[in-house]
Homo-oligomer: A and B are copies of this chain.
Amino acid sequence: MRAGPSQEEVRRHNLGTLLRYVHVHGATSRAELTSRLGLNRSTIGALTADLTTAGLVTEAAPRETGRAGRPSLVVRPESSRVFAYALSIEVDRLRAARVGLGGRILDRREAHRPRGMQVLDAVQPLAGFVREMRADVPDDARYVGTGVAVAGMVRRVDGMVRLAPTIGWVEEPVGAALRTELGDEARGRLTMGNHADVSALVEHSRGAAAGCDNVIYLYGDVGVGAGIIADGRRVAGHGGYGGEVGHMVVNPYGRECSCGSRGCWETEIGEYALLKHAGRAEQSGRGAVLDVVEAAMRGDSQAQFAVRQVGEWIGFGVGNLVNIFNPEAVIFGGTLRDVYLVAAAQIRSRLTAIALPACREHIRLRTPELGNDAALIGAAELAFEHLLEDPLIN
């Protein structure tokens, strides 16, 4: 319970609100900012002047208005000058990007990650990517911070990876290892988060769930995770570990899970389940999943059986989550996207059978708009967040 803000806090809040608006929505006229933010014209003018001085936005006349009268200046985020590094540690690959304010990917690198790779072996190539990208950064550009998305449960305060069963890491100090390996230029301001969580936030702010306040973003590969947004905010939980829907037990008589429990949702809808039902248990990876989906579309009966089985269980678990969260949108990312595209009718039918009518009314099932870029842009958001909270911070 906290009392109201001071005038200075109000100003910083307004600066952050304006900067966040153009960061998310891109170039916006002063007139639109005035109406969207509910501030008067002179306040908008003063705020954009402050942000321009700070090198965070630029103002320019619009190219064409088609209307009479003096056109309203357009405010743009300084995407090419203000940037964050974004790193992503995934089951089968390591990715890095330089992301400009406004969520624009300016540069990127990627390497294969063999299963079983240890922390240090993963951290070194990521640090190498940052050094490579650093070489092309203009002298006047401003580094804001580095964000890291990990396909596992991450302790935000120090970047300890508590559990990433699909990567094979338990209680690994990834944050500390990154701080050691990264050069001075990217060592400070390192923030880490869960892959599905940061992807969810990006799909919510500027992707498939823009405008929806209650969203379940599911991401599947070997395992299944979720980023959940309730009333516009991430459901983080006490330690930030919320959203582990892959370990919701759906089948008490099901298979053992890598977490030690039995019948977890991911044992029924993850990569292995699909490949096993398709008679391809010896295969693995996104490519193998896509092969099954394509075979199903071509009419291969065993592939169709596999997709049906997994589709049933997807609908089943989504139905449970819909009863718990009453969301407007469910987004299927990773390999779940591919399965969803061939099993949508079945997923919806099972969902309808399990979810209560009031909980599922108005629901939209969707695929991601930002695809695999969501994790990189989302990782960068972790770094931008400090700046958006207080744009005049150093």
Contacts and interface: CB of A to CB of B under 8 A. Distances in A.
Contact of A4 (B13, B238, B243, B245): B13
Interface string A217-251: 00000000000101101011111111111011111
Copies in the complex: 2
Nearest to A235: B230
Interface string A266-300: 00000000000000000000000000000000000
Most chain-B CB neighbours within 10 Å: which of A260, A359, A363? A359
Contact of A239 (B14, B36, B259, B326): B326
Interface string A1-38: 11111000111011001101100100000000000111
Nearest to A313: B252
A389 interface: no
Interface string A156-175: 00000011000000000000
A196 to B, nearest CB: 12
Nearest to A215: B238
A349 interface: no
Contacts of A4: 5, 9-11, 13-14, 17
A247 B356 CA distance: 8
A378 interface: no
A242 B38 contact: no
Most chain-B CB neighbours within 10 Å: which of A4, A20, A244, A249? A4
A261 interface: yes
A326 B228 CA distance: 12
Contacts of A18: 3
B242 A316 contact: no
Interface residues of A, number: 71
Interface stretch (A75-83, A111-119, A302-310, A317-325): A317-325
Nearest to A328: B238
Contact of A17 (B2, B237, B325): B2
Nearest to A362: B238
A311 to B, nearest CB: 15
A243 to B, nearest CB: 7
A214 B242 CA distance: 10
Given A252-B316, A320-B249, A325-B237, A244 B356 contact: yes
Contacts of A359: 153, 237, 239, 241-242, 244
A176 interface: no
B244 A39 contact: no
Interface string A337-363: 000000000000000011111110111
11 contacts: A1-B21, A2-B37, A4-B5, A4-B17, A238-B327, A238-B362, A239-B362, A242-B326, A245-B323, A247-B355, A247-B356
Interface of A: 1-5, 9-11, 13-14, 17-18, 20-21, 24, 36-39, 43, 153, 155, 162-163, 213-214, 228, 230-231, 233, 235-245, 247-253, 259-261, 316, 319-321, 323-328, 353-359, 361-363
Given A163-B356, A230-B242, A235-B235, 5 more contacts: A163-B358, A213-B238, A214-B237, A245-B324, A249-B320
The 5 closest A-B pairs by CB, nearest first: A237-B326, A4-B10, A3-B37, A242-B326, A244-B323
